[in-house]
Amino acid sequence: MNNSSKKTISNIPLQVSKGCVIASIQVDLTEEVSKAFRVELLEYIRENGATGVILDVSGVDIMDLDDFISLKNTLSMVEVMGAKPVLAGLKPGVVVSLIELGAETQDIHAAFNLDEAFLLLDELRAE
């Protein structure tokens, strides 16, 4: 496994650090982008043997319910691949909007930032 491996997929950069794939999402999550990203992320996990995935959404200012459901589906698929998923960097306004829209947030592991996401992944991997 190459810990310095980097790859850009659907304008969403992917890199591996500490056995974890980090995806920095800073683009509009259209249906096409989401589908392509999901497939290529899962392949990247398989190629690198990653045991964790952090989806960093700190660059996302607006997220609708469909975007959130797509991310949640991606997190579920990551788990099926055998990796532990964490969503990091949600902005307070995005969280408020999602909750008001009725987003189901149970079963999601979330962290304030990347540092906390790595700490949470360590805990999840130890379970």
Domain residue ranges in the chain? 6-126
List of residues 6+ apart from 35 with CB closer than 8 A: none
Residue-wise pLDDT for 27-86, tens only, equals 888 888 899 999 999 999 999 999 999 999 999 999 999 999 999 999 999 999 999 999
Our measurement of the distance from residue 102's CA atom to the centroid of its chain's CA atoms, rounded to an integer in Å, reads 20
Positive or negative: CA dihedral 110, 21, 27, 37: negative
Return the number of other C-beta atoms located less than 10 Å from residue 88's C-beta.
24
Give pLDDT, residue 9: 52
Are 96 and 120 in contact by the 8 Å Cβ rule? The answer is no
Say what the pTM is.
Answer: 0.90
Q: Give ∠ CA 86-124-48 in degrees, rounded to 5.
A: 65
pLDDT at 4 over 80: no
Give pLDDT, residue 27: 87
| Distance from C-alpha of 38 to C-alpha of 10, rounded to nearest angstrom | 10
Fold adopted by 6-126:
Transcription Regulator spoIIAA (3.30.750)
